[in-house]
Amino acid sequence: MSTFDAVPDLGLNWLDASGDHAEIVLSTRVRLARNLQGHAFGPRARVNDREAVLSRVRQHSDRLDSLEGATVLHMPDLDARRRTILLERRLASRELIGSADAEPANGTAVVVSGRHPLNVMVNEEDHLRLQSVVSGLRLREAWSQVDRLDEELGRELPYAFHHEFGFLTSCPTNTGTGLRASVLVHLPGLVLTKEISKVLHALGQVGLTFRGLYGEGSEVVGNFFQISNQTTLGKSEEDLLDHLDQVVRKVIQHEREARQVLLRDAGSVTEDKIWRAYGLLRYARSLSFEELMNLLSGVRLGVSLKLLPELRVYTLNKLMIFTQPAHLEEAAGRDLTPSESDAHRAAFVRRILGSEGDVSPDGPESSDERPAPGA
Amino acid sequence: MSTFDAVPDLGLNWLDASGDHAEIVLSTRVRLARNLQGHAFGPRARVNDREAVLSRVRQHSDRLDSLEGATVLHMPDLDARRRTILLERRLASRELIGSADAEPANGTAVVVSGRHPLNVMVNEEDHLRLQSVVSGLRLREAWSQVDRLDEELGRELPYAFHHEFGFLTSCPTNTGTGLRASVLVHLPGLVLTKEISKVLHALGQVGLTFRGLYGEGSEVVGNFFQISNQTTLGKSEEDLLDHLDQVVRKVIQHEREARQVLLRDAGSVTEDKIWRAYGLLRYARSLSFEELMNLLSGVRLGVSLKLLPELRVYTLNKLMIFTQPAHLEEAAGRDLTPSESDAHRAAFVRRILGSEGDVSPDGPESSDERPAPGA
């Protein structure tokens, strides 16, 4: 059994929906970009730089409190499917895992803490990308996790730091604090009421940006938006986090208002849409990932609006992750064609929703105003 | 309680799916057009003609064996909703029940036998339209029923008959035998394999025609086609019926072959479509009649292909009839707006499918080749 198999829930603590506003905020992520003195970084890094960096990280990975019980996954040692699983779990970037045309470089790795919601990408764009991902809206928590790791690691390793610019990074947009915090929010209300573009525009005006589920360059699916800071320089980490926190709370407020508008102006249409999504998930024989995400978006809205109270947010989170192509192939123990993948996805969804117990087709509402045609 | 309320299953014996090929053939209908000597018929009939005809029918309606326990429903005595219910049960034509602009004429009526699958439209296009509707493909049975009624009635009432032309009717296309036999068939396989137009074209070439669910001028919904004879003159009733029976059996054969082709070439797509239809019926909050019919078409195909064996054809037949607008209003005890109607329809479907017992989302197939992703 490889190290990979030993950690089936590798880096997935944030799925448990335990955080604040968990039905709207899937997760909070804070990452710090760091580079080591004495080794070229960014595009100038050579294989010996990368191997030296990884070797220094390995030395410490198990000795630091934050990385207790850590698993070090060296990219070239993993097959393509498992590397993709790391991407699907948001533990590795598309750049890190390589592709069919470009095998991952020697020295590229992901370190996953055994006890804390922490991981480190090694030799991605920067030598180190320390990140913490936690459930719900918990910027302080994610920050304090990653800050502790940063301190512990910084005591052992010589960070590249400039007294004026701060931490030096491969791309100048990360220089300074090296911090990017992002919050993954589910905004179906704003999408359905067509208020979303206004909100996204306003984000830009206050120095924030948004991305899809898989970060930079990825498309928005299932009405999930990653909202994050654009600036990393000239402000303290606390200021950056406070600002993001305040804005995200406002976005959540707008989302809640949009949902009330939806219920008021199109209650039965919305309810119908939610139940249809559930019905399709419960019975479909083939689901593309995109369709699944759209249906899950409807069902998640239903859970949040207490129309589908028997379903747990945790279940919905789990469905998002384990229905991705590499996860399905891992479970099947073999490669899957796209149509096989769609069939396995649908079967998995049926199984999980079935094991959740049946949601009564009549929902939580009592039987008042229920027509009773005589047959 | 009006006479109407006394017969909740008024004329609905054919729903029970007891006939041959019941999963493909919904019903067989045979009707005879008859007019009485001494009274103007067709467009020349006046109110006193119509009233006299109805009065003569009333005299006999309960004394004939075929009409034992008959209910006579005089159109002007029924409110619009109940007249529409008769249309929805295919006991009355659109012409007979009148409309908001044209109240039904005095003397127009429907007589429904209490013990036999027989009914008579009085003062529609012809003085009398005797008809028998039975479940499945049973042309002989429907014919013998209506033939007996015709004989019994013909002994009491003087039919307009011409030694050369046969029975005289308002429209010359019905003259001769006055017989129209029609078989209501469900042909999703031929529709999905796009073979249907060929089959329908061939019907025309052998003197048959097709219509939608509600007869002349009605659209095809839910892949239901009424196949019937076009000619009524110059052939014996037996010949007409035998010909129709032979052709319909061929159509059924083509439909079965088309289903096999579907399963072979697009098995998983078809299965997915069927289960999605079931999932939507099971959970939707709003269903138009047209959408319902399309979903029921998918589910009916699934039952026929043994993919949804827990469902009875009888249940599907019942859903078709009792979800029509006037039936829903009757059950609700009030008028319904279109959107209320869609909501009541969806609620009724959920209730009936729920009382049928849950269909396992995994269907009848065993667990072989079933992916088991580990979550």
Say if residues A153 and A84 touch (Cβ distance below 8 Å).
no
Listed residue (B96, B94, B95) closest to B111, CA to CA: B96
pLDDT value for B7:
57
Mean pLDDT of the residues in chain B? 89
Query: pLDDT-based confidence at A99, cuts 50/70/90?
Result: confident
CB A179 within 8 Å of CB A232:
yes
Pick the residue from chain A with its C-alpha nearest to B359.
A283
Residue A124 to chain B, least CA–CA distance (Å): 29
**Alpha helices in chain B, H assignment, sequence order:** 47-61, 80-88, 94-97, 139-156, 188-192, 196-205, 237-283, 289-304, 313-322, 325-332, 338-355
- Do residues A35 and A170 touch, judged by C-beta distance below 8 A? yes
Would you place residue A374 in the very low, low, confident or very high pLDDT band (cuts 50, 70, 90)? very low
A–B CB contacts, 8 A cutoff, strictly below: 117
B343 neighbourhood in chain A, CB within 8 Å? 268, 371
pLDDT, residue B368, reads 37
pLDDT per position as a tens digit, A307-332: 988 899 999 999 999 999 999 999 99
pLDDT of residue A4: 63
For chain A, domains (ranges, CATH) are 4-253 (3.30.590.10), 266-355 (no CATH)
Contact status, residue A61 vs residue A111, Cβ threshold 8 Å:
yes
What's the confidence (pLDDT) of residue B75?
Answer: 95
Q: How far is B328 from chain A (nearest CA, A)?
A: 6
Q: Contact B283/A275, CB-based, under 8 Å?
A: yes
Q: B74 to chain A, minimum CA–CA distance in Å?
A: 23
Give the pLDDT of residue B139.
96
Spell out which residues of chain B touch residue A269, defining contact as CB-CB under 8 Å: 286
Question: Mean pLDDT over residues A23-34, rounded?
Answer: 94
Q: Which of A272, A322, A362 sits opposite B375 (nearest CB)?
A: A322
* pLDDT at position B141: 95
Collect all residues of chain B within an 8 Å Cβ-Cβ radius of residue A325: none
How high is the pLDDT of residue B14?
Answer: 86
pLDDT class of A370 with cuts at 50, 70, 90: very low
Q: Do B272 and A284 touch (CB under 8 A)?
A: yes
A86 DSSP β-pair partners? none
User: Residues of B with CB below 8 A from A352's CB?
Assistant: 375
So what's the ipTM on this one?
0.86
Average pLDDT over residues B324-344: 96
Give every CB contact of residue B339 below 8 A, 6+ residues apart in sequence: A268, B286
Q: pLDDT by residue (tens digit) across B59-117? A: 988 889 999 889 999 999 999 999 999 999 989 998 899 887 888 999 999 999 988 99
Phi, psi for residue A344 in degrees, rounded to 5: -65, -40
- Residue in the block written with tokens 């099971």: B282
Residue A371 reports pLDDT greater than 80: no
Contact A192, A261 (CB under 8 A): no
The whole-number average pLDDT for the span B17-33 is 92
Half-sphere exposure of A181 (CA within 13 A, CB side): 29
pLDDT at B151 over 80: yes
The pLDDT value recorded for residue A357 is: 63
Which residue from B281, B352, B370 is facing A375, i.e. has the nearest CB?
B352
* Strand-strand pairing, A71-74 and A208-211: unpaired
SS3 B246: helix
A331: contact with B, CB 8 A cutoff: yes
Give the pLDDT confidence score for residue A275 in this predicted structure. 97
Is any Cβ of chain B less than 8 angstroms from the Cβ of A7?
A: no
Exposed/middle/buried for B113, CB within 10 Å: 0-12, 13-18, 19+?
A: buried
φ, ψ at B82 (rounded to 5°): -70, -35
**Lookup: tokens for B60:** 């006999």
Over residues A33-46, the mean pLDDT reads 90
B window 216-275, beta carbon within 8 A of A: 268-269, 271-272, 275
Q: What is the distance between the alpha carbons of residues B328 and B333, in angstroms, rounded to a whole number?
A: 8
B182-240: per-residue pLDDT in tens?
A: 999 999 999 999 999 999 999 999 999 998 876 666 677 899 999 999 877 778 899 99
User: What value does the mean pLDDT take over residues A244-270?
Assistant: 95
pLDDT higher than threshold 50 for residue B365: no
Distances (CA, A) of A178 to A54, A129, A183, A189: 20, 9, 17, 33
- Whether A194 has its CB under 8 Å from any CB of chain B: the answer is no
Give the model's pLDDT for residue A368: 37
